[in-house]
Amino acid sequence: MSMVLANHPPLANAYHTFGKHLLLGSTIAARPRELVVLRTAWLQKCEYEWHYHVGYAVTAGLTMAEVAAIRDGWQSPVWDGKGEDRAVLRAVDELVENQRIGDEAWDLLAGHFDKRQMMDLLFTIGNYVMLGWAVATFGIPVEPGVDPIGFDLKTRSGKDPAGSFRPFEKG
C-alpha cells in the first residue's frame, strides 16, 4: 500500500497520521482491533489484509479456532461467553452491511467500551473497509517472497500460519 500512496504524498501523509492513531493511539486494545480487521477482510474477501492480520491476531491473544470462527461471524458458538468479541464482530457486520450500527448492537458495545473507545472502534472499522476498497481497486498483492495465508488458514507451503511474517520481520 505504501508504494501506491507514494504516488500522492499529501494523501499518504494524511492517511499515515490517521493510521498511526488507529494502531498506536487508539483507545481500543489489540484484540478487538484484530477482530475488526479480520472480519472486515473476510467480508470484503481482502486476501492482503487477511494474510497479514492472522499472525497479528494470534499475537493479540486469539486462538486459531477463534480466527477460523471469524469467518462465521458473531453468531458462531465460539463466541459464546465472549460478549465483547461478539459485540465487536456484530458491529462490523452491521456497519459493513447496513452502513450503520443499529441501536441494539450499539448498546451491546456500550456494555464493553466507553464513548471514546466506541468512536475509535467505529473509525477502525471504516478504515479497514476503505483500505479493503483500495487494495482491491489498486490490485495490491501480497508481496513476493511471502508465504500467503489463505482464507482456509493454510499457507501455500503448508507452514503454521501463526508463524508467518512479512519479508523484513524476523520470527
> Binning pLDDT at 50, 70 and 90, where does residue 13 land?
very high
| pLDDT tens digits for range 48-89 | 999 999 989 999 999 999 999 999 999 999 999 999 999 999
Residue 146 lies in a domain: no
Rounded Cα distance between 161 and 147, Å, is: 9
Rounded Cα distance between 146 and 152, Å, is: 17
DSSP character for 22?
I
Q: Looking at residue 144, what is its pLDDT?
A: 85
DSSP character for 66?
H
Residue type, 167: P
Stretch 43-51: mean pLDDT, rounded? 93
Residue 91 lies in a domain: yes
The domain total for the chain is: 1
Q: Is the pLDDT of residue 165 over 90?
A: no
Q: Look over the chain and give the mean of its residue pLDDT values, rounded to a whole number.
A: 90
Residue 18 lies in a domain: no
> Binning pLDDT at 50, 70 and 90, where does residue 151 land?
confident
Residue 148 lies in a domain: no
Residue 150 lies in a domain: no
SS3 call for 82? coil
> Binning pLDDT at 50, 70 and 90, where does residue 6 land?
confident
Q: And the C-alpha cell for 26?
A: 487508539
Residue 154 lies in a domain: no
Q: Is the pTM above the cut of 0.75?
A: yes
Range of the domain at 136: 29-141
Name every residue whose Cβ is closer than 8 Å to that of residue 11 and which is 6 or more positions away in sequence.
5
Residue 162 lies in a domain: no
Residue 151 lies in a domain: no
CATH code (residue 88): 1.20.1290.10
